[in-house]
Amino acid sequence: MVDNLSKAIEDETYQCKIPSNYKVKVTTQHPDTYRTLIRHLHSEHTIHHTYQMKHDTAYRVVIQDLHYSIPITDIKDELQKLGHPVHNIINIRHRVHKYPLSMFYVDLEPMSNNKVIYDLQFIHNMKITVEPPHERNTILQCTRCQLYGHSKSYCTRPYKCVKCGGNHMTSECRKTKNTPPKCALCSGEHTANYKGCAVYKELQQARGKPTTKPPLPATQNTNPPLPPQCPPLQPVTDSASYSQALRGNKETNSPDDLGTHLTILLQEFKTMFSQLIHQNSLILNMLTMS
């Protein structure tokens, strides 16, 4: 490999590193050396993948609250007048329903004044907000070879189907729905972009990212307490009064104790009525919470 690279570039202009037993990483010191090396690898039909150089990477921002019906050319022209040359503008769509949102990805040409765009407040007389894009939590996956860590734009590896793992483009796959999928990375019965794949989990763990959601913390029971049980009523007989049935006393009272028994009956009735009100309040609270 070194002898082959020496045909195109000088030995002092690049370094090699072995990140694994099956890969060799070549880093060049100058952009011109990088371009020369890429042309040489293409001419030799060498299987490889590479990355975009940092000074060629567009500066991406997100413009919010800008109506999706505004033509992209109008947005591009106005940003150009404000000193922000635009490389590309993409209208963001809902990830499920795919309808357009009032948000745009804007890729600016790399310049020293790129961060000034965050001070921009109006476009087409519309109040806007400019923010940096959210950090990607998932690993970039190539849709050409299905390997992680690079994109198809800088990949020359053989095609791998995301559905069946065959050596062809995914758009040319003839797998039927009744045929189980096959992962091109681990040969499991799932597609190559499945986030439960063992290869993906290992890469996420190497990055220190959790592959599954952490368990929910233990919380206190927020369910309302059950209403208190009323004391059981004693069966009523023909020879017992209502107050005697509540008290469990079947003895006949004398007429002299009628006032005392009446007072006790009223107190017991008041207690039962209070418990009934309390139970109704608890039931209403339970219905409101549900």
What's the rounded Cα separation, in Å, for the pair 264 and 138? 74
In a domain, 271, yes or no: no
User: Beta partners for 89?
Assistant: 106
Q: Which residue has the higher pLDDT, 212 or 199?
A: 199
* Together in a domain, 15 and 62: no
* Together in a domain, 40 and 76: no
In a domain, 83, yes or no: yes
With a cut of 90, say whether residue 117 has pLDDT above it. yes
Which of 102-106, 170-174, 215-219 is the least confident region?
215-219
In a domain, 242, yes or no: no
Q: Which domain holds residue 100?
A: 56-131
- For the chain, list the strands marked E by DSSP: 14-20, 23-28, 59-64, 86-93, 100-108, 122-123, 126-127, 129-131
What's the rounded Cα separation, in Å, for the pair 121 and 130? 8
pLDDT of residue 290: 52
* Together in a domain, 120 and 102: yes
Helices (H), 51-193: 72-81
- Which DSSP state fits 48? -
pLDDT of residue 215: 52
pLDDT band at 236 (very low <50, low <70, confident <90, very high): very low
Backbone angles phi, psi at 196, to 5 degrees: -95, 5
pLDDT of residue 224: 47
In a domain, 104, yes or no: yes
Last residue of a domain, one of 210, 236, 263: 210
- Which DSSP state fits 9? S
With a cut of 80, say whether residue 221 has pLDDT above it. no
In a domain, 160, yes or no: yes
* Together in a domain, 70 and 120: yes
First to last CA, the chain: 69
pLDDT of residue 256: 53
In a domain, 23, yes or no: yes
Global pTM? 0.52
* Together in a domain, 80 and 126: yes
With a cut of 90, say whether residue 86 has pLDDT above it. yes
With a cut of 70, say whether residue 29 has pLDDT above it. yes
The average pLDDT across 188-214 equals 83
pLDDT of residue 7: 85
In a domain, 286, yes or no: no
**Structural domains of the chain, count:** 3
Last residue of a domain, one of 210, 229, 249: 210
In a domain, 290, yes or no: no
pLDDT of residue 219: 47
* Together in a domain, 119 and 170: no
* Together in a domain, 125 and 141: no
With a cut of 90, say whether residue 74 has pLDDT above it. yes
pLDDT band at 271 (very low <50, low <70, confident <90, very high): confident
Q: Per the structure block, which two tokens stand in for 269?
A: 């009735």
Percent of the chain with pLDDT over 90: 40
* Together in a domain, 87 and 110: yes
Mean pLDDT of the chain: 81
